[in-house]
Structure 1
Amino acid sequence: MTPDWTWHGGALEAAKRHFGTGDRPWLDLSTGINPHRWPGSDTIAIDWHRLPEREALADLEAAAAAHFGTAPHYVCAVPGSEIGLRLVGQIIGGSAHYVAPSYRTHGEIFAKMIPVGRSEAKDTEGTLLLANPNNPDGCLTDTGQLQARKGWLLVDEAFADCTRAISAAPKVSDDARLILFRSFGKFFGLAGVRLGFVVGPPVLLDPLRALLGAWPVSAAAIAIGTAAYRDRRWIEAMRAQLDHEAVTLDTVLLRHGLAATGDCPLFRLIETDNARGLFERLAHAAILTRPFADQPRWLRLGLPGSDEALARLAGALAHG
């Protein structure tokens, strides 16, 4: 199976080349990105002529901080949470443990990465990195128990927007050795904006800002992100909608003998002996899902996003 499909989701062009489904439109369920993007991005005027103003960046970080539940001086905007992860790894340095299985990039952040199971994490010393909710299985971790460890605790909260109560953002402080990573594009359905945030104490954010330089994110990211984070009505309505659509997806999967063994409002993880065959069957129907090279029985599916797309998935599952 080509690495393009097992490294990250979204390798749509590679799938088109390999499976050759002609002009048929593809349904991309491989990424875990909200299929319903925040609608305000189409109406915001972007000043492409000027460099982003420092005050506008501060306003974005304040809007994000209010959404996360922390103070603005603990929030630093970055051009995507993955870049934030990699830069923080450079700043802290040394080796680290990371909870596996998880987001594949986690194994590349530090000079030496040592995988541990979730039950072993609390007994490690030094830097520990995990995702909460976890990707790809959606498992939740009580990060409060892990803060008693010796060393930095790094928590990738890329999918935390779907359920506000799970975030550790209110626990970030000057004294806590706690760093969070937040993604804008997944929940707001605007991954192409390339916007993320590092949430942590100034002792970490000050050198991070020095690495990022004067204009860390684009004028478009600032304008769209600021407005989206302040759209409380849309955020609350979308959380409820995603929960409903995820349950509806569960019903379709169960109808075809596929129960979710891992879940998050933005995706479902199924486990089956024929995961590779199912991936290829769906791909021949121009439906891209997410397989895993190191877990051949796993397949992750994002939300279809419409009744038509859900019916298309159900039809492909039925004709196996």
Structure 2
Amino acid sequence: MLEHGGNLRAASAQFDRPLSNWLDLSTGLNPHGYPAPDAGASAWHRLPEKCPLLVQAASRYYGAPHMLAVAGSQAAIQALPRLRPPSRVVVAAPSYAEHAHHWQQHGHSTREVPHALLDAAVSDCDVLVVCNPNNPTGHTVPRERLLSWRETLAQRGGWLVVDEAFADVAPANSIADMAALPGMVVLCSVGKFFGLAGLRVGFAGAEPALLDRLESLLGPWTVSGPAQHVARAALCDRAWQARTRERLAADHARLSAILRDSDLDASGTALFQWWPMEEPEPLWRHLAQRGIWTRLFLHGARGIRVGMPPDEPGWQRLITALNEWKNQS
């Protein structure tokens, strides 16, 4: 199993620090998640039928004409490679490691290609996978380029898979509204922006025939009743969404300034920042020894990713640790 952020139990064991004494910045999740409403007794008691109201709410929110609710976008990431014969797959690099891993696991010829070389790679693959914005760097591909790639791939029965797990903070660049075009697959998640990773709810947007195949492969009852109830409420709450985008934008500006003051050349989104380092482990360890858990990248793009602190004590804890690092460097 690949390594991911949020593994606080491993951090606690490695650094001999109680779980309650960590500032977890390792996941890029909104630290002020949507306040989950009470799902009611029936949501817990009944088998979770597919809820058309949830799908309608998702279609309105993402702008996609056809969507399928899945148990987090991770479920679709794992299933999509099983819906194609052996194919030539290109995954934009660096990227969320689960994409390349699962295409490789299911017999596809898979290679990772830097973003700067993707234009050329499109002519020599059947499937192109792009995180947009990218995890961990925050790099964003313009809509026009994505649409051009999709057209090229679709002409030979190929797919463009766009993972928009972090796109909610800047929806203007989302391509979910084009998800019904031939060869287009868009993956969305309520885990990041809504801070509801524990729900395990995501959505796939694509042509209806492809969504039917994906649904058949995943089987019944993929999303629990309580999760459907909470996700629908979050997707419909436009006032909360607007307030949250404003707050995250302010936090983004603050974190960017803090990292610049620490001489760290960071990029990212309004949910996380990432910076490259030839030797990132000493800084990662310095932060961990002070109870600040960040995401360490040692393979491919080497660097560190941090999310937004949840409160003022968290901000001050991060600032103090970075100042200590800068002063001793």
Q: Same fold (TM over 0.5)?
A: yes
Letter in 1 for 2:318: L
Shift of 1:318: 1.9
Q: How does 1:135-150 map to 2 (within 5 A)?
A: 135-142=135-142, 143-150=146-153
The answer on 1:97 being equivalent to 2:103 is: no
Contact 2:58/2:235 (<8 A) preserved = yes
**In 2: Cα distance, 1:237 partner to 1:264 partner:** 17
Q: CA deviation at 1:21?
A: 2.4
Change (3 A) 1:293 1:273: closer
Q: What secondary structure does 2:221 align onto? A: coil
* CA–CA separation in structure 2 for the residues paired with 1:42 and 1:53: 19
1:62-118 deviation line (CA, Å, top 9, x unaligned) = 1011000122xx100010101111111111232311111100111122223111122
5+ unaligned residues in a row in structure 1: which ranges? none
Residue aligning to 1:303: 308
After superposition, the CA RMSD in angstroms is 1.7
Shift of 1:271: 2.5
Aligned to 1:16: 12
Contact 1:122 1:145 in 2 (8 A): no
- For residues 99 and 274 of structure 1, the distance between their equivalents in structure 2, rounded to whole angstroms, comes to 23
The alpha-carbon deviation at position 22 of structure 1 amounts to: 4.5
Summarize deviations over 1:32-85 as a string: whole Å, max 9, x none: 11101001x15443531111234xx111111011000122xx100010101111
Q: Please name the residue that 1:70 is paired with.
A: 64
Find the aligned partners of 1:37 and 1:88 in 2 and give their Cα distance: 29
Distance in 2, Cα, partners of 1:166 & 1:53: 32
The total of aligned residue pairs comes to: 309
* Alignment equivalent of 1:215, drawn from 217, 221, 238: 221
Query: How far apart in 1 are the matches of 2:178 and 2:184?
Result: 8
Which of 276, 282, 299 is the aligned partner of 2:281? 276
| Whole-Å separation in 2 of the counterparts to 1:148 and 1:163 | 24
- Distance in 2 of aligned mates of 1:98 and 1:23: 35
Q: What residue is the counterpart of 2:24 in the other structure?
A: 28
Structure 2 residue identity aligned to 1:319: E
1:231 pairs with 2:223? no
Shifted more, 238-247 versus 123-132: the winner is: 123-132
Q: Distance in 2 between matches of 1:152 and 1:176?
A: 8
Given candidates 147, 169, 172, the residue that maps to 1:165 is 172
Q: Given residue 166 of structure 2, which amino acid in structure 1 is its aligned partner?
A: F
Is the alpha carbon distance of 1:22 and 1:216 closer, same or farther for their aligned partners in structure 2, counting shifts above 3 Å? closer
Distance 1:107 1:160, change over 3 A: same
Q: Please state if 1:37 is matched with 2:9.
A: no
Letter in 2 for 1:265: A
Instruction: Output the CA distance in 2 between the equivalents of 1:159 and 1:257.
Output: 26
Which stretch shifts more, 246-255 or 77-86? 246-255
SS in 2 for 1:316: helix
| 1:275–1:296 CA contact under 8 A, matched in 2 | no
CA gap 1:22/1:233 in 2 versus in 1, 3 angstroms: closer
Cα 1:229–1:298 shift into 2, 3 Å: same
Secondary structure, aligned partner of 2:82: helix
State the 4+ residue runs in structure 1 displaced beyond 3 angstroms. none
Please point out which of 246, 253, 257 is paired with 1:251: 257
Q: Secondary structure at the match of 2:310?
A: coil
Partner of 1:126: 126
SS at match of 1:188: coil
Deviation of residue 203 (structure 1)?
Answer: 1.9
3-state SS of paired residue (2:21): coil
Give the secondary-structure state (helix, strand or coil) at the position aligned to 2:79: helix
Q: Structure 2: which 5+ residue stretches go unaligned?
A: none
Question: Is the 1:184–1:196 Cα contact (8 Å) retained in structure 2?
Answer: yes
Partners of 1:153 and 1:23 lie apart in 2 by 40
Deviation string for 1:260-280 (max 9, x for gaps)?
1x2111000022344211100
Partner Cα separation in structure 2 for residue 233 and residue 93 of structure 1: 44
Contact 2:94-2:300 at 8 Å conserved across structures: no
